[in-house]
Structure 1
Amino acid sequence: MSAYHEARLGELVEHVGRAVDRFRAGQLDAFEVDGVIHQYHRAAQRLWTFCSQSGAQVEATAQVIEDMAAEGEAIDWWQHGMSAKARRAEGSDA
């Protein structure tokens, strides 16, 4: 579970890094980067909640991760970090 959490958290951090790089290149303004940081925060919270199970829940969560990997599926934690307003604008319910 810890390896999964660290790997997904690293993916989320990459989003922030790309936004900061784009800010430095003059492609994003500070408000846009702030929005990315907020999305990161929401996504990281949801990931932490998913991964911070105990007892029998750990086994069940690990099985969900294993089953999804076997099916070639993955949870898009970045999408889960979108604000409700952004999800509505995209027409998504993630």
Structure 2
Amino acid sequence: MCPRSERRAAQEAVAAYHEARLADLVERVGEGVDRFRAGELDPFETDRVLFQYSRAAKELWKFCNTGDVEFTAATIAAGACVDWWERGVPRERRAH
């Protein structure tokens, strides 16, 4: 493959990965909203789900969109398993 087509293939692989993992994160949000509607979560707990989604989606975006796309595609192809939802867990605040 020529360098241009290798880069295009890498971009497509990263884009497909990003879309699939983003769909996983959105599914988690849907589950949280469903739990809120069923009375299992209060508004604050639901907000925490939304906040965690936001943080996780940002981490996923950074992974997929910064740096060398060929390296990122190779990392994905190697099967590096990242739990993006866990990456979005907010840090606990410390009392001053």
TM-score between the two structures when normalised by the length of structure 1: 0.80
Give the root-mean-square deviation of aligned CA atoms. Answer: 1.4
Structure 1 outlier segments of 4+, above 6 Å: none
1:50 matches 2:50 = no
**Structure of greater relative contact order (alpha carbons < 8 Å, 6+ residues apart):** 2
- The equivalent of 2:75 in structure 1 is 64
Alignment coverage as a number of residue pairs: 80
Q: 1:51 & 1:65 partners in 2: Cα distance?
A: 10
- Mark the runs of 5 or more structure 2 residues left unpaired by the alignment: 1-13
Q: 1:53 & 1:38 partners in 2: Cα distance?
A: 22
Distance apart, 1:53 and its partner CA: 3.1
- Mark the runs of 5 or more structure 1 residues left unpaired by the alignment: 87-94
Percent identical among aligned pairs is 54
Residues 7-86 of structure 1: matches in 2 within 5 Å? 7-53=20-66, 57-68=68-79, 73-85=80-92
